[in-house]
């Protein structure tokens, strides 16, 4: 089953002043009432011709999660506060846009150029439809929208999941849904080609997956593994770094640890252990799960010892002990041997820190005597 692909359908209601079209700038918003739509029912379908002349149908996005967001973007309208939606929309676009996620804007402004200007200024890129008829428009009536902003979430089967989604929830809700979905079947298919030794065919497939889903960390990891199998270390490093850049807390912890260790290994191989440590620290920024966090703490602590950065080694080793002590019995059993190694490491680090302090004090005394 493919990755859940999320489509954020942004319905922008940018209404300019003008008789007979929407509302004038001095008008008050109409009285509002909750939408007539209920969670679990089929989302009303609609279609339109976008600003670029392309026909877009809501039905075309079946199999993806769909966020329908009604907003007002035109300066001077009473609903200008809906511009606060734009940063949230930009963030979900940057994190998930592609095969799993797209954005469609339906604007009710009378001036398409004004909508295009907002899109360009705010760095938003998705199909746009100029509705022009305000709250009396067909899509507003279908969804019972009488205020802005108003957001609806639709699942892959076209059923309504939420009728009251706030912009501050966009990333968490979308990311959480994607985290529960299996990978695009093209990804395991490419790995099967690698197992069969057909590296070039795997690279071709991996490139296509990345092109179709450019913000998917798994897709970039696949491409990196293909390059690594082809012994193209430069290409592998670039793809692993691309995967690292796109990872966030919604990705599987096992994937995060894998990518961080791959990047760290390649940096270490390139003679840049400081960047290797930074790669492991990147994983610690994203992972809270004790099992995977302990692995990263163990790895980066050992690297700091090799670098002679004993204070950082002590910090990460002590955190390992802290997390280990609060972990479940299963996790402690899994890391029992590593826990013993960390105890030895701490003793080594303490000894090195004491020696460094004594050396520094002796140097300071020598300078005083002079």
Across the chain, which has 370 residues, the per-10-residue mean pLDDT values are: 48 37 41 78 91 88 86 64 79 84 74 83 81 80 85 90 90 87 90 96 96 91 97 97 93 94 95 95 95 96 93 95 95 95 93 86 67
Cβ-proximal residues to 308 (8 Å cutoff; 6+ apart), any chain: 352
Count of Cβ atoms closer than 10 Å to residue 151 Cβ: 26
Q: Compute the 3-state secondary structure of the chain and give helix, strand, coil in percent, each to the nearest 5.
A: 55, 10, 30
Strand locations in 132-218, DSSP E? 150-154, 160-162
In terms of DSSP bridges, do strands 101-107 and 5-12 run parallel, antiparallel, or are they unpaired?
A: parallel
Helix (H) or strand (E) segment spanning residue 177: helix 170-179
CB 29 within 8 A of CB 77: no
**CA 82 – CA 46 distance, rounded (Å):** 23
Contact 273, 280 (CB under 8 A): no
In whole angstroms, give the CA distance from residue 90 to residue 86: 6
Judge residue 364's burial from the number of C-beta atoms within 10 Å of its C-beta, 0-12 exposed, 13-18 middle, 19 or more buried.
exposed
Provide the CA 202 distance to its chain's centre, in angstroms.
25
Domains and CATH numbers, the chain: 5-179 (3.40.30.10), 186-364 (1.25.40.10)
Please state, in angstroms and rounded to a whole number, the distance separating the CA atoms of residues 346 and 278: 21
Collect all residues with Cβ–Cβ distance below 8 Å to 292 and sequence separation of at least 6: 253, 254, 256, 257, 283
pLDDT of 24: 37
Burial 118-143 (b: 16+ CB within 10 A, else e): bbeeeebebbbbbbbbbbebebbebb
Cα separation, 65 vs 167, whole angstroms = 16
Task: Give the H or E element holding residue 182.
Answer: none
At residue 15, the 3 state secondary structure works out as coil
A 10 A CB-CB count for 216 gives: 26
- Both tokens of 265, joined, read 């290994």
* 62 contacts 156 by C-beta, under 8 angstroms: yes
pTM as predicted: 0.75
Between the alpha carbon of residue 67 and those of residues 101, 153, 167, 301, the distances in Å are 10, 5, 10, 42
CB-based burial of residue 354 (10 Å sphere; 0-12 exposed, 13-18 middle, 19+ buried)?
Answer: exposed
Residue with tokens 């007539």: 36
Alpha-carbon distance of 346 to 94, in angstroms, equals 41
Structure tokens given for 4 = 């859940």
Q: Which residues contact 42 (CB under 8 A, 6 or more apart)?
A: 158, 159, 160
Return the closest-CA partner of residue 297 out of 313, 320, 272: 320
């Amino acid at each position: 089953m493919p990755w859940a692909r999320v489509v954020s359908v942004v319905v922008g209601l940018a209404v300019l002043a003008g008789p007979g079209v929407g509302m004038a700038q001095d008008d008050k918003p109409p009285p509002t009432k909750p939408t007539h739509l209920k969670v679990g029912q089929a989302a009303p379908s609609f279609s339109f011709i976008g600003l670029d002349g392309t026909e877009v149908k809501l039905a075309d996005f079946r199999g993806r999660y769909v966020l329908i967001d009604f907003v007002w973007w035109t300066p001077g309208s009473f609903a200008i506060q809906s511009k606060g939606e734009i940063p949230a929309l930009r963030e979900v676009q940057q994190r998930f846009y592609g095969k799993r996620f797209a954005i469609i804007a339906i604007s009710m402004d009378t001036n398409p150029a004004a909508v295009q200007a907002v899109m360009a200024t705010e760095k938003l890129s998705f199909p746009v439809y100029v509705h022009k008829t305000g709250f009396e428009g067909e899509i507003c009536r279908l969804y019972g929208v009488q205020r802005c902003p108003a957001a609806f979430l639709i699942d892959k089967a076209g059923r309504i999941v939420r009728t009251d989604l706030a912009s501050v929830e966009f990333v968490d809700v979308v990311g959480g849904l994607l985290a529960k979905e299996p990978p695009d079947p093209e990804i395991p298919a490419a790995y099967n080609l690698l197992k069969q030794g057909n590296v070039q065919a795997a690279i071709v497939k991996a490139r296509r997956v990345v092109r179709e889903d450019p913000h998917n960390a798994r897709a970039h990891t696949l491409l990196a593994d293909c390059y690594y199998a082809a012994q193209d270390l430069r290409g592998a490093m670039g793809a692993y770094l691309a995967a690292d850049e796109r990872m966030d807390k919604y990705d599987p912890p096992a994937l995060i640890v894998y990518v961080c260790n791959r990047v760290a290994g390649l940096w270490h191989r390139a003679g840049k252990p400081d960047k290797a440590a930074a790669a492991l620290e990147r994983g610690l920024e994203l992972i809270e799960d004790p099992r995977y966090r302990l692995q990263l703490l163990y790895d980066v602590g050992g690297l700091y010892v090799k670098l002679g950065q004993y204070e950082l080694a002590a910090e990460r080793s002590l955190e390992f002990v802290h997390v280990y002590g609060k972990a479940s019995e299963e996790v402690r059993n899994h890391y029992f041997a590593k826990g013993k190694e960390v105890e030895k490491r701490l003793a080594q680090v303490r000894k090195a820190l004491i020696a460094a302090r004594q050396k520094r004090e002796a140097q300071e005394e020598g300078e005083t005597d002079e």
